[in-house]
Structures are given as C-alpha cells and as structure tokens.
Amino acid sequence: MSNPLLSRWDTPFEIAPFASISDDDFAPALEQALQDHNAQIDAIAGSTEAPGFANVIEALETPCRALEQVLGVFFTVAGADSNPKREELQREFSPKLAAHFSAITANKALYARVKAVWEQREDLDLTDEQQRVLMLTHRGFVRGGAALEGEADTRMQKIKGRLATLGTEFTQNLLADEREWFLELTEDDLEGLPEFVVSAARAAGEEKGKDGPVVTLSRSLITPFLQFSPRRDLREKAFNAWAARGANGGDTDNRAIAAEILALRAERAQLLGYKNFAAYKLETEMAKTPEAVRGLLMDVWGPAKTRADADAQVLTAMMQEDGINGDLEPWDWRYYAEKRRKAEHDLDEAALKPYLQLDRMIEASFACANRLFGLEFAPLDVPLYHPDCRAWEVTRNGQHVAVFIGDYFARGSKRSGAWCSAMRQQAKFPEVQAPVVINVCNFAKGDPALLSWDDARTLFHEFGHALHQMLSNVTYESISGTSVARDFVELPSQLYEHWLEVPDVLHEFATHAETGEPMPQEMLEKVLGAANFDMGFQTVEYVASALVDLAFHDGAAPADPMAKQAEVLAELGMPRAIIMRHATPHFAHVFAGDGYSSGYYSYMWSEVMDADAFAAFEEAGGAFDSERAKALEEHILSTGGSVDPAELYTAFRGRLPGVEALLKGRGLAAE
C-alpha cells in the first residue's frame, strides 16, 4: 500500500489525512522524501546552464512536497500529541534532518551558483521581492557556513548535528518531568480553592488515572493553585516542583545539556568569524547588537524592579497579618497578590472566570478579525490528530483564505506552553498555496472550559500569529507569514492582545457560563482597571530571563550555566521572592532550538512596537478604525519577510517607536 504521507492528499483543502497515517509511516516516508529532496538539490547544483534567478533561487524555492508533508505532520503531532514511538522518532530524525539541511548549505557547487546570481544581481531586473529573496538566500548560505573549507567545514556540520540532538533531548526531558510529576490532593486539601480550580484538578486526576484531584505542572492548573490555595505547605511543594523542571538529576536533567549547547553555539559563531554567538544571532534582527538589546532591557528593568520591591513590602505585611513571620517566598507571591487584587480592585478571579468561556473567547477572536479584516470562519468536519482539535475554513468575500486548526486543552502528551505553526504556508510560487495554520494551547479542561484572564490573552496572542500566517500575501514561501526577524515576529501577536481589552468586545463575548448575562459594567471596569496589576512581578520575571539569555551568549560560553545565571541575577539585585519566568533547565525558548537563543528579549522589543501600534488605532477612529486596519494588513500582516521590518513599521506608523509607550502601557512610567 502506498504511504499516505507521500501521496497527494485528496482531502478538503488538502488537509493531512490524519486518520490514514500511522506512526509506522513516518520513517520510510522521511527516507523517501529526503531522497527526493536530494535529487532536487543535486539537479540545481549540477546544472550546466548559466546560473540565474529562475534556475537557482526559484528552483530552491520550489518545495519538495513529500518532505513538507512529512515534516508538517510529524512535528505537529510530536509537539502536541507525543507518545514513546514519536519521541523515539524525533530523537532519530533530529540529527538526520540537521545533517540533511547542513549538507545543502555546505554544498560548494550549489553555493557557487547562488553566489554567482548574487554577484550579478544588479543586472537581473528583479522585483523588490525577488531581490529580498536573493539576499536572504545568499545570506543564509554564508551564515550556514557555505564559505568554510576543510576542517572548519567538517566541524560546522558536526556542530549542527549535535545541536539538533541536544535540542530534542532538552525538549523531551522537560516533557518527561512535566508529565511525570503530580501532587495528589485530598478533599481537605481543596478547601479554599474556587470551583474552577477544583474542577480542573479533578479533570487532571482523571487524565492521570487517579481517583481524586491532582495538581500537575500545566501552567493553567499550577498557577491558579498557587494563587488560591491557603495551604502554604502545598504551595511550596507545587512551586518547587514547577521551578525544578529539568533539574531533578537523573536521565531528564538538562543542566549539562544546556552547557554543551552554549559551548557549541559559541564555537559555531567563532568558525563564522563572529566574536560571540549573540553578535552572530542579532546581526539579522531589528536590534542588530547585544548592546541595543541590553539597553532596552535595562531601561525597563529599573522601573520594574522599583515597582516589584514596593509590592513585595505590601505582600510581606499581608503575610505577617496572617501570622506568618519571615520572608516572603516565591510560593507566597501569587497567593498574596491575588488577595491584594481582590482587596484593591474588588476583582475576584473566581468570579471573573465564568465570564471567560473558551468558546466565547474563540468567537471573540474571530469577530475581531472579521471587523478588522473581513475574515469569516466556518467550522470544518474533518479528521484531525486528536479529538480535542477543531478546524475552521477561513474565507473573505466568499474566497478561501486558509484553514485554521485549534488545539486548546492541556494533556500529558503535549509539551507545555502555547504556539502557532503552519502545516502549510501561503505562497504563489510555483503555484498558489493557501495556508493551514494551527494554534496549540494548554488550557485546563472543564464543562464548560473557563479561562483565566492570562489564558484569554494567550488565546488572542496566538491568534495574532495565526493572522500573520493567514493574511500573508507574498510570492515565495521562504518569506511567507511569520518568516520574519525574531524580534518582529511577536508584533502581530502582541498587538492582537489589545483587542481583548476593548470594552465592546468584552461586553459582547464575556458572557456568564450559566446565566448567559454579559459581564457587568462594574466588573468590566475593574478588569480593565486591574490590567497592569502586579506588573512589577511580571516584568521582573521576564526581563531577568531575557538578560540571562543574553549573558549566556554575549561572551565566552559559561562552563556552568547555573553559576552564570546566579551571577547575573545577583548583579541585577533580583528580588528574592521572584524567580526567572524560565530558569535555565526548563528554558525551552532558548535551548529546545535556536529560535529564541539570544533572542528572548524579542517579546519586549516587539512590545515597544505593539504599544505604539495600538496607539495609532486609538489616535484614529478607535480599535476598529478601517484605515488603520487596512494599513496594518498592507504593511505588516500581508508582507511576511519581503521587506526589512524597520521599513515595514515605519510605513505603517510613519516612524519607529521609543520605549515610552511600553512603560506607559505596563503602568511603569514615572508619574
């Protein structure tokens, strides 16, 4: 029988036929796909025709359908619905794929043809988009080591392969720690917890095969447990397990892996002639230099730490009023911050949560996209990779735009966090291709599923990424959608979060799960009034992580990353009751792959722009101003990586922003 991963999919919108694909199909399909792709590359490199844009650059842009199908399906299920077989395959595939793609950039004959096209670029009468693709292709080969010779060339290929293996190990170790740990609760342990936390704990217990409720390391469960449990001893147990992920000793410990990754990255940068990995990595980003990144982060650190230190004094006093002497600990902060929020803003998350139903928040994200961009969403009844998934056809003016898939609930087979990926990206070459986009989240199950405010913001954030993919309108796949500078990619996602806070949106879609009544005006005002509550804590835990990431890569690789982490935090004067949002052993953004390595700062770099960009709507006709929405789509959402991001933002806003809008947006600006 033919392998379903290698055939043309005769399905609605060519969505992967998940029901027909078994885990046994992946390995043979990948072998065949790699052979097909190698033949394609060999034909380009070995051509006797004079090198030109069509027979070199466009030939490289022509997708190997088999390889795209195999990788699109495999990495979707490996991240969102893993099992022992898929984990084994991922360990096998990662070095194999690294070697495959390294061999392409190391192919001297191919690089010679790319270089020849680059050198004659002025005479080729290329469009602006073609010039951009040529520049990015040539730069990618050079930064991939194509110009290296001899031992340096050989060593580069080994480094890439080893890094791929280590990134997979890091991810799987973290997943194992998150999957294996849970804290069983008695009925007495549930005292003081709101019903939505109790319900989520019981659902987690069922998923773990236990008779009673449990707390797991899913952020959507452990965070509200730390917020609401009056049992300080249980909070300490849960928090310490959360903080120790990847650092528990044994086979799943990530500390040695992190050290080796940092050493290999530093060596890779040196082979390419850079003084360190940060200089190499940031060269292609908007920030350009480590100094620019550190400058932004330190501009924010001072006001954030001042606010956090003041908040810590208030929370300590509250704790002492409860008869607990001693220092405020990390497992105390969220509990007392929640009590303070209720006291100061009269905002109780347990009362708020019934108004944030998952299904209604999905509707809200769709409705905003409709008002801004004219998109419409119709449910699709198609087989997907897990029963929790659902799909929609996205259209505009009756024309197909994309397929959108949502996978929202936490489960043991899914890695933590939330992300957006495209199983197929938008392109017009060599044929028109509509995207298939997925949002994956880790919300607690319930009937109905209720979200925290942070969960709802996450849903809008990831849907902002999805819009960047769905509204892409470029010719070449390599610059499609989110294929942009890392410190620009978070702009559409963080910008879209602002629409969750639009009063009209909340009034229409924040309806009570039982009564159907809209959120009362008084509560709505409290929600918006408390938007910046505890922002000192949130900013400190994030900026500390970004500064540690930068320190790891801006200089010699530390032999002991944990010691380096401690050194950086000590120099910053890190408040003792706050820890990094992502400590080194579970810092998947940085160590699961190269994506956010030396780049975790990019959320804040993008936030400087998103705060300023939403201000453009407010200065015009409001959140749904049609001219601003049109400009946003034209200059940012549709353009992918076809233009330098600074030029794109300037075209949208007329200028580049400063940090002032960010500090004001976070409530950290000086009064």
Q: What is the pLDDT of residue 213?
A: 97
> What pLDDT sits at residue 349?
86
**Cβ pair 412, 218 in contact under 8 A:** no
C-alpha pair distances (Å), 361 with each of 105, 198, 355? 44, 22, 9
Question: Omega before 585 cis (within 30°)?
Answer: no
Query: What count of other Cβ atoms lies within 10 Å of the Cβ of residue 470?
Result: 26
C-alpha 77/C-alpha 95 separation (Å) is 19
- How does DSSP classify residue 391? E
Tokens (6 digits) for 245: 């992920």
Integer Cα distance of 277 and 262 in angstroms: 9
Residues 6+ apart with CB under 8 A from 250: none
The reply to whether CATH 1.20.1050.40 applies to domain 12-147 is yes
Contact of 596 with 602, CB cutoff 8 Å? yes
Asked if 310 and 337 count as a contact pair (C-beta separation under 8 A), the reply is no
- Name which of 384, 560, 444 is nearest 203 in CA terms: 444
Place of tokens 């190269």: 594
Nearest Cα residue to 389 out of 405, 378, 411: 405
Looking only at the bridges linking them, the beta strands covering 436-443 and 399-409 are parallel
Buried b (16+ CB within 10 A) or exposed e, 650-662: eebbeeebebebb
Residue 403's H or E segment, with its range, is strand 399-409
In this structure, the strands spanning 390-396 and 399-409 are: antiparallel
* Closest CA relative to residue 366, chosen from 355, 378, 354, 357: 378
pTM (2 decimals)? Answer: 0.94
Where helices occur in 471-601 by DSSP H, the ranges are 486-497, 503-509, 521-529, 535-553, 561-572, 588-591
Residue in 462, 477, 490, 607 annotated catalytic? 462
Structure tokens at 293: 């990144």
Class (C level, CATH) for 251-347+535-600 = mainly alpha
As a whole number of angstroms, the distance between CA 11 and CA 73 comes to: 14
CA 522, distance to chain mean position in Å, is 34
Q: Is the peptide bond before 224 cis (omega within 30 degrees of 0)?
A: no
Distance (Å, rounded) from C-alpha 271 to C-alpha 264? 11
Do the two domains 251-347+535-600 and 354-529+603-665 of this chain adopt the same fold? yes
What is the amino acid identity at position 395?
T
CA distances from 197 to 214, 516, 621 (A): 10, 21, 40
Q: Which residues contact 318 (CB under 8 A, 6 or more apart)?
A: 336, 339, 340
Please say if 462 is a catalytic residue: yes
pLDDT in the model for residue 658:
87
Give the pLDDT confidence score for residue 64 in this predicted structure. Answer: 97
Q: Please give the pLDDT value at position 630.
A: 98
399-409 sheet: strands from edge to edge: 376-380, 390-396, 399-409, 436-443, 419-424
Q: Which pairing describes strands 376-380 and 214-216: parallel, antiparallel, or unpaired?
A: unpaired
Query: Token digits for 113?
Result: 């043809």
Rg (CA), the chain: 25
Among residues 58, 83, 10, the alpha carbon closest in space to that of 386 is found at 83
The structure tokens 């530093």 sit at 266
Average pLDDT per consecutive 10 residues, the chain (671 residues; last block may be shorter) = 92 96 98 98 98 98 97 97 97 96 96 98 97 98 96 96 97 95 97 94 94 94 96 98 97 98 98 98 97 96 97 98 96 97 91 96 98 98 97 98 97 93 98 98 93 95 98 98 97 98 96 97 92 95 98 98 98 98 97 95 96 95 97 98 97 93 88 60
pLDDT at 671: 60
HSE toward the beta carbon, residue 306, CA cutoff 13 A: 11
Give the position of tokens 């780049």. Answer: 599
Return d(Cα 648, Cα 373) in angstroms, integer. 18
Residue for token pair 């466009």 = 58
CA 582 to chain CA mean position, Å: 13
Instruction: Give me the half-sphere count of Cα atoms (radius 13 Å) on the Cβ side of residue 181.
Output: 22
Is 96 exposed, middle or buried (CB count within 10 Å of its CB: 0-12, 13-18, 19+)?
A: middle
Residue-range domain boundaries for the chain? 12-147, 181-245, 251-347+535-600, 354-529+603-665
Residues 6+ apart with CB under 8 A from 447: 199
- The 3-class secondary structure across 436-480, one letter per residue, is EEEEEEEECCCCCCECCHHHHHHHHHHHHHHHHHHCCCCCCHHHC
pLDDT at 670: 74
- DSSP letter assigned to residue 37: H
- H or E stretch at 109: helix 108-119
* 3-state secondary structure labels for all residues of 75-105: HHHHHHCCCHHHHHHHHHHHHHHHHHHHHHH
Place of tokens 């489960």: 411
Q: Which of 361, 338, 314 is nearest to 509 (CA)?
A: 361
Cβ-proximal residues to 145 (8 Å cutoff; 6+ apart), any chain? 102, 105, 106, 152, 153, 156, 157, 271, 272
Q: Among 548, 540, 586, 546, which residue's Cα sits nearest to residue 567?
A: 548
Longest dimension (CA), the chain: 83
DSSP 189: G
Tell me the residue type at 59. Answer: A
Q: Which class in CATH covers the domain with range 354-529+603-665?
A: mainly alpha
